Amino acid sequence: DAKTTQPNSMESNEEEPVHLPCNHSTISGTDYIHWYRQLPSQGPEYVIHGLTSNVNNRMASLAIAEDRKSSTLILHRATLRDAAVYYCILRGGISNFGNEKLTFGTGTRLTIIP
């Protein structure tokens, strides 16, 4: 199974941009890169996903390296409500018969400093 590697923790000042890295050197050509976050005392929630091109949505941006072996989740202006654990995972392919086992790991705990 393709795995991801993230730093255990990061800190950022409020109202500044945050760049959360993720390494996935064994990614396959059809794996999508997904990011989820888990706020305190809640279940994980979807943030963003991408395949090859950079992606933007109302929550964040996702920058994907050209070789797809790493990606960065960008929070453009962090607020205290962005303090959470962020998970980067790979979700296989386009086949209904592909391996759908998903590995979340321990994620990155983001602390926002007021």
Partner 1 sequence: EAQVTQNPRYLITVTGKKLTVTCSQNMNHEYMSWYRQDPGLGLRQIYYSMNVEVTDKGDVPEGYKVSRKEKRNFPLILESPSPNQTSLYFCASSFQRGYNEQFFGPGTRLTVL
The nearest distance, CB 107 to partner 1, in angstroms, is 6
Cα separation, 90 vs 30, whole angstroms: 10
- Binder among 5, 25, 45, 77 for partner 1 (CB under 8 A): 45
Does 24 participate in binding partner 1 (rule CB under 8 A)? no
Nearer to partner 1, 30 or 79 (CB): 30
Pattern 65-94, partner 1, x by CB under 8 A: ----------------------x---xxxx
Q: Are 33 and 20 in contact (CB under 8 A)?
A: no
Does 58 participate in binding partner 1 (rule CB under 8 A)? no
Cα separation, 18 vs 90, whole angstroms: 21
Torsions phi, psi for 70 (to 5 deg):
-155, 160
Does 34 participate in binding partner 1 (rule CB under 8 A)? yes
At residue 5, the 3 state secondary structure works out as strand
Cα separation, 28 vs 92, whole angstroms: 8
Contact residues: partner 1, CB under 8 A: 30-32, 34, 36, 38, 42-46, 49, 51, 87, 91-94, 96, 98, 100-107
